[in-house]
Structure 1
Amino acid sequence: MKSTPISFILISIAWSFHPSLAQTNIEKFRSEGSINLMFSFDHDETKTTESETLLATLLVNKVKGVHEYLAVYDTEVEDKDDVNYKNKNFLHLRYYRHITNWGFEGFFQRSEDDFSNQLKRKLFGLGVRKTIEREKYSLRGGLSLFAEELRLSSEAEGKTVINDLDMNRFNAYLSLKQKYLTVTAYFQPNIDDGDDRNLALESVLTFDLWKERVKLDIIYNFKQNSELDIKNRKFKQVLRVKW
């Protein structure tokens, strides 16, 4: 019986700080039926502050015939000057049904962070995908609709105000994958508010360092929200070690 590969990956992944950039990091987690355990530890020290961030992620991706199951769970803790600044939990579940080069999927996502203005977030949706496989590259495209529930906190006149928001979003994505390069773009407009639109772009350049067991990823990630005028750029180096 073929054993399931287990990867221990030293990785730095920044999940979106804005609530609607929902699925950008999920596509690169599709890994052909594997179980992965990922860790990241960052230490940042300046003249005035000192911070530490610990991130642990468990990924399960199973493929059985035309059925594919994906589950991602991570927890992130951040301390600044020995004070707890972040305690975030994230869960993503997805089912995918393959039909030749087409596919249909359903997904559910939930996150919590008691130390953020985004206290809780849930979304669920349905989508359709198309895959084109060629000798030197593969191209994936998809359309989906998802409902999003948010619980946000804000300060007003010295008091904490809790707001609950419900939104419906349309999601379109396109992903090009070659041997060493993967580029993914997302566009997510709010169906109920035409001025609220999200754009996300991620590129991953992969170098095989040793017998396909040790790889280095160079990742650039850009996210933007039109209504809130939020722009977030991340540049990461990821070392992956696989047993």
Structure 2
Amino acid sequence: MSDPDGYFGEQVAARYDDPSSEMFQPETVNRTIDFLAALAGDGRALELGIGTGRIALPLTERGVPVHGIDMSRAMVARMHAKEGGSAIGVTIGDFATTTVDGTFSVVYLVFNTIMNLTTQAEQVACFRNAASHLAPGGRFVIEVSVPDLRILPPGQTTVPFRIGPTRWAYDRYDVATQAMSSNYVEVVEEHGRFRSIPFRYVWPSELDLMAQLAGLRLQERWEDWTRAPFTHESRHHVSVWEKPLA
């Protein structure tokens, strides 16, 4: 893609902060902050894919110093324009390989951001990059959905998740490669717009193996930020891997 911001350029950045979305609801944000702040303690946090600061800003307000890595200048500009946003340092680059100075008590990826890395090799590199930034005893946290393949009838590859008079959205899956995409169709003044964002879905057990390759070990896994039990019916998980002290 020619856009230096990848799939998250100005068109996406301008509409990303949706107050009606569940991810922006105060209770959702507060639960996330409570969870991460407890892990960070008196240390620093590194957010991979910091975006418009949905989590970084309130986490900083809680007293946790946050640094971010993101390749989208448009998204980061939105964060820096918010109150307190200019005080948060951001390194522009691919969070699978970009490095920053110092070590952190917690490194985190929220809201399916690990799936923005569209190959297994990139996801493995992300774990290794996170591990290299963690202090001994530090934790790597990922919030991501469980692949929704059980809702696919035989032969079907597409699942709609938004249907309205002028807006439609659907996911497409390739179970042979674990490639998927979220696709959006919108009609504005009788003109259609189409946008497609690629992802790679990943299983909890696969993430655990990536963690082992990076020298991390699973510490805990929950269904969500409230620490509800993770079960075979869970559609999301929050997982925490620890860097050993020795």
Asked if TM exceeds 0.5, the reply is: no
Q: Whose radius of gyration is greater, 1 or 2?
A: 1
Structure with greater proportional helix content: 2
TM-score (norm 1): 0.30
TM-score (norm 2): 0.29
Structure with greater proportional strand content: 1
